[in-house]
Structure 1
Amino acid sequence: MSTAQLSAVALGPRYDAHRLRAELDALGHRRFSPQRTFDRSGPAEETGSDWRVLSLRSQGGDPRRTDPGGPGLTGYADTPLLAEAPYMASILAGIPADLRTARLMALGPGASVDEHRDYPYGLPAGWVRLHVPVVTNPGAVLVIDGVEHRWQPGELWYGDFSRPHRVYNTGETRRVHLVIDCFVGSALLDMFPEEFRRRVRWSEVLFEKPELPLTPDEAAEMECSIGVPASFLDGDSLEAFTARWTLDRRAGLYAADGRLVLDVADGPSMTLVHIGEGEFRLLGWTTERTIKIDLSGRVPQARFRMRYGTGLAETVRAATPTQQRRQAS
């Protein structure tokens, strides 16, 4: 299997193309909304091209969310529209992974998406994107790393979208794919062909870690005020995180329903998910980005970490425990 072949690979399951098309028709094209991306402050502006989305699973289960989601206060949930597509729901239920979003993405005739890379994405970032084509035509082409792909209805494909890719539709009909974003686990990778698995550098794979819930007392003991590096919030690359000097954003950690919430001044708020030993990932995200809280030492501190495969960058900030501030006052 060549390097180019590693950029896209067909997985085992084949689905009923007729049932997929019937559910798409029943859902109706008028219910699709313009595609949005996601930046550090949440869903971004709508795309200007004929690139439309119907969300079956989204952040907070909101059908209006056409973006892929990101760190925030809510996790991912099915939207009410999924109940109208039971066959597609069965496909999602059969994928052995925790799912982020599932979106029907439609590219209209004559539309295109310019070449770009998705970052952070892929096995080194802890999440992957799968495609199930629903309707297509010979003029609908996905190009990944210079290789053209014309995936067919009912197939299941993995693509490495961290590589340069673009899509265009020169046909006379729209191209619709069911696009599924998944957290990475061993059961999901068991679906991949053996030859692909032999080529994977397992030390570079960022596997999902389960939540280890805190007790309410533990969460309360970790409340503090801290400075958060802006590059940590901005979603910068690992290299930029280590090289870029940025002013800190003031933030506080407070307990809510047994979890901690990171509340950034004049910025976003994010729920933290404990993964062990005082380390937390951001809800809606992977362990690509974590915060380790240690208030018990001589100098209370928070360690901000970013990972990509085996790469790890860390920066430390002093923390002021909330209980200490209360005692001082």
Structure 2
Amino acid sequence: MTTTVRQPGATARLKPTFDGAALAAELDQVRRHAWQRQRVYGDQIGQASKVDWTCLALRSPGGDGDRTDPGGPGPVDFADTPWLERTPQAREVLRSIPAPLRAVRYMALGPGTHSHLHFDTKYGPSWGVARLHVPITTNPDALLHLDGEEHCWQPGEFWFGDFSRNHQVGNDGTEPRVHLVIDCLVVPELAEIFPDSWREFLLEGGAVLNRPATPLPGSPKEWECAFEVPETFTDWEEEDGAFLDPAVPRRRATVHAEEDHLLLTYEGAAPVRLIHLEDGEFRYAGWSEERTVQLHCAGGEVVLRSRVGSTVRTLTLPMLHHLR
């Protein structure tokens, strides 16, 4: 990973602190509902966790209250689930975050449960994403090991963790350890809740800063087109810049209108909704500006970009045809 500014560390204590007792009382209400095992997300929803690691979604792709995965590029963006209406204390936490929210989940690690050592691909500011934690219930034997350091965050505290680094969680206590886990896009305003020591990294080249969505100029039909892309570009977990290799096989991509928005469909893959940024450049719904597609319909070109911090990799390709 190449960035121009060094990240200050793997974790940061954030501002403010919340009422842990009030959050715990609210948690008791929704714990009466049977939570489901956490699932991963790749090109689609993956298998359920084999250990006692359960979730309740307050925000999810499409606002589906039964989804326990963190989501990713897909045909719908993130929305509140019905559970968020029932958790006013959690809503207060979310209102304090000056950034667009992605998945928000209560995550419960059962007694005697341990994860394997792993990392969450591209879940860090260098790719435009931040994962925040507010512990609600914990115990001294519920520990997070992140990037070689041990943590036991306390109820009501507010933390950032770079979970793109190696980490493992375990609970050797007798009660579940429950955190409110919040994924958000990195924007300049997010630096306000980080320590001052993070300001340079977040604002001056270490992080991908996401631009706000803007209305699509003209009719969606005017943007319909087809082109070929390196197949590695269709894999949002691909190694940074792998799509630039001229030896990588290509697959057909089609942009077509659906009501008031655009869907990008790669050959053999599920469609992804496009979110317009500016000048015909789009990110994927459910993802950050780590990956964008820019359509120059008048010029008959498509520009593919991937980003890591201030590093931008670009590939310009011809359109096969403009479908208008």
Same fold (TM over 0.5): yes
Within-5 A mapping of 1:2-151: 6-28=9-31, 30-40=33-43, 42-151=44-153
AA of the residue aligned to 1:220: K
Distance 1:68 1:279 in 2: 25
Q: Which runs of 5+ in 2 are unaligned?
A: 1-5
Separation (CA, whole Å) in 2 of partners of 1:230 and 1:46? 28
> Separation in 1 of the partners of 2:179 and 2:246?
38
Give the 3-state SS of the residue equivalent to 1:319 in structure 2: strand
Distance 1:57 1:201, change over 3 A: closer
Give deviations 1:131-170, integer Å, cap 9, x for gaps: 0001001110001111000000011001111221111111
Deviation (angstroms), 1:127:
1.2
- What amino acid is aligned across from residue 252 of structure 1 in structure 2? T
Identity score, percent: 40
Higher percent of residues as helix: 1
CA contact (8 A) 2:226 2:323 kept: no
Report if the CA contact (8 A) 2:8-2:197 is conserved: no
1:231 corresponding residue in structure 2: 232
For residues 139-178 of structure 1, the aligned pairs below 5 Å read 139-178=141-180
Secondary structure in 2 aligned to 1:237?
Answer: coil
CA positional deviation for 1:119: 1.9
Compute the displacement of 1:247 (Å).
2.7
SS of the residue 1:23 aligns to: helix
2:116 alignment partner, SS class: strand
Does 1:320 find its partner at 2:320?
yes
CA offsets 1:246-281 (integer angstroms, 9 cap, x no match): 432322111233432112333110111111122111
Alpha-carbon distance in 2 for matches of 1:223, 1:5: 43
Q: Give 1:317 shift.
A: 3.1
> How far did 1:301 drift?
2.4
Aligned twin of 1:327: none
Match of 1:293?
295
Residues in 2 aligned to 1:151 and 1:60: alpha-carbon distance in whole angstroms:
31
- Tell me which moved more, 264-273 or 169-178: 264-273
- Taking structure 1 as reference, are residues 244 and 317 closer, same or farther at Cα in structure 2, changes over 3 Å only? closer
**Counterpart position of 1:275:** 277
Pair 200,301 (structure 1): closer, same or farther in 2 beyond 3 Å? closer
Aligned to 1:209: 211
Alpha carbons of structure 1 residues 302 and 4: separation in structure 2 relative to 1, 3 Å: closer
Structure 1 counterpart of 2:311? 311
- Larger RCO: 1 or 2 (CA < 8 Å, sep 6+): 2
Alignment size in residue pairs: 318
Deviations 1:68-123 (A, max 9, x none): 11111111111001111111111112211110011000111111111222221222
- Which amino acid is the alignment partner of residue 278 of structure 1? G
Confirm or deny: 8 A CA contact 1:134 1:178 kept in the other structure: yes
Partner of 2:222: 221
- Partners of 1:133 and 1:29 lie apart in 2 by 19
Q: Whole-Å Cα distance in 2 between the matches of residues 317 and 195 of structure 1?
A: 41
Question: Contact 1:58 / 1:100 at 8 angstroms: preserved in 2?
Answer: yes
Normalising by structure 1, report the TM-score. Answer: 0.91
RMSD between aligned alpha carbons? Answer: 2.0
